[in-house]
């Protein structure tokens, strides 16, 4: 508990660093962070148009599905990729500041959370216009989003500490996620190939995405998804705590 209290004393630095990481990249651009929104919209539109054309199905059938899938994927994937190099990127600060080392992956996590409004600007109108299901399942949305963030944050912390000891991890994570993106029903639906074995059930990213998409579109059973995701989160949290406990200080010697 003292350790968590110690992390809280550094909350202002975490927020400030996350804000500067988010805005620093776009300082010289005209649109600024709105490029996140624009890039997301263009990608979702492109994929939806492709599916609608190739499979001869209505645009409205795919658009909210693809939009929500990419939103959840970008949220999780962004945290994982950035956290895996968070210690290397913060090396200068890491060796000067006596803050707990876990704040560096938390900065990456918070930066990605701060980007959520950029996605919601597209996601909310798309879902409203193209048929989100107005049912009690929507009550699972906020807890689902909260659990998605918590799960992603725990895995991000694990990736950060592994990245300190395995220098090529960020490259491996980036490359792997490009492949896993297509392996996961992010932009394709599980009914596209009838009779396909349900391999997605063994994919943690499927549960992560359905935490958000299922309540809105009714694409999955929320109790089942939430239960599995909760179990995965507990496991990830235990591993993350172990990483902080056993490698919390040693990581500074690795980047020295």
Partner 1 sequence: MTINPTPAQPSPLISLENISVHVPVREWSSRPLKSRFDMIGRAYAMAQRTRWSPILQHVWLDLKPGQRVGIIGPNGSGKSTLLKLLAGALPQSGGRAYRRGKIVAILSSQAGFVMQATGYENIFLRGLMLGMSRREISDRIDDIIEFADIGKHIYEPIGNYSSGMLLRLAFAISTAFDAEVLLIDEWIGTGDAEFLEKARARLEAVVANSRILVLASHNSRVIRSFCNEAVLMLDGQIAHRGDVDTTVDIYRHWLETQKGVGG
Residues in contact with partner 1 by CB under 8 A are 10, 12-13, 16-17, 20, 24, 27, 92-99, 166-168, 171-172, 175, 249-250, 252-254, 256
Give, in degrees to the nearest 5, the angle at Cα 111 between 107 and 115: 165
- Give the number of other Cβ atoms within 10 Å of residue 69's Cβ: 27
For the CB of residue 47, give the shortest distance to partner 1 in the complex, in Å.
Answer: 28
Q: Which two tokens stand for residue 77?
A: 């994937």
Give 12 or 56: the residue with its C-beta nearer to partner 1.
12
Q: By the 8 A CB rule, do 205 and 73 touch?
A: yes
Q: Which is nearer to partner 1, 61 or 91 (CB)?
A: 91
User: Which of 102, 147 has the CB closer to partner 1?
Assistant: 102
CB of 115 to partner 1, least distance (A): 18
Judge whether 147 and 63 are in contact, CB under 8 Å.
no
DSSP state of 166: -
- Any idea what DSSP says for residue 83? H
| C-beta of residue 64 within 8 angstroms of C-beta of residue 132 | yes
Half-sphere exposure of 167 (CA within 13 A, CB side): 2
Contact 107, 18 (CB under 8 A): yes
Identity of the residue, 61 or 254, whose beta carbon is nearer to partner 1 in the bound complex: 254
For partner 1, the closer CB: 10 or 40: 10
For the bound state, the minimum distance from the C-beta of residue 256 to partner 1, rounded and expressed in Å, comes to 5
Q: How far is the CB of 247 from partner 1 (least distance, A)?
A: 11
CB of 179 to partner 1, least distance (A): 13
């Amino acid at each position: 508990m003292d350790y968590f209290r110690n992390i809280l004393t550094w909350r202002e630095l975490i927020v400030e660093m996350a804000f500067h990481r988010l805005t620093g990249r776009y300082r010289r651009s005209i649109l600024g962070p709105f490029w996140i929104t624009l890039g997301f919209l263009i990608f979702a539109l492109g994929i939806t148009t492709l599916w609608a054309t190739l499979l001869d199905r209505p645009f409205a059938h795919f658009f909210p599905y693809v939009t929500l899938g990419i939103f959840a994927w970008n949220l999780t994937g962004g945290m994982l990729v950035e956290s895996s190099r968070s210690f290397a990127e913060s090396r200068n600060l890491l060796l000067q500041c006596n803050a707990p080392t876990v704040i560096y992956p938390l900065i990456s996590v918070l930066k990605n959370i701060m980007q959520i409004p950029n996605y919601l600007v597209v996601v909310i109108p798309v879902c409203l216009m193209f048929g989100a299901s107005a049912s009690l399942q929507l009550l699972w949305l906020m807890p689902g989003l909260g659990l998605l963030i918590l799960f992603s944050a725990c895995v991000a912390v694990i990736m950060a500490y592994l990245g300190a000891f395995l220098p090529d991890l960020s490259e491996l994570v980036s490359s792997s996620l490009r492949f896993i993106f297509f392996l996961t029903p992010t932009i394709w639906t599980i009914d596209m190939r009838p009779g396909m074995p349900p391999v997605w059930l063994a994919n943690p990213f499927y549960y992560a995405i359905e935490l958000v998409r299922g309540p809105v579109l009714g694409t999955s059973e929320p109790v089942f998804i939430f239960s599995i995701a909760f179990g995965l989160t507990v496991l990830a949290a235990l591993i993350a705590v172990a990483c902080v406990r056993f490698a919390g200080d040693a990581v500074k010697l690795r980047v020295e």
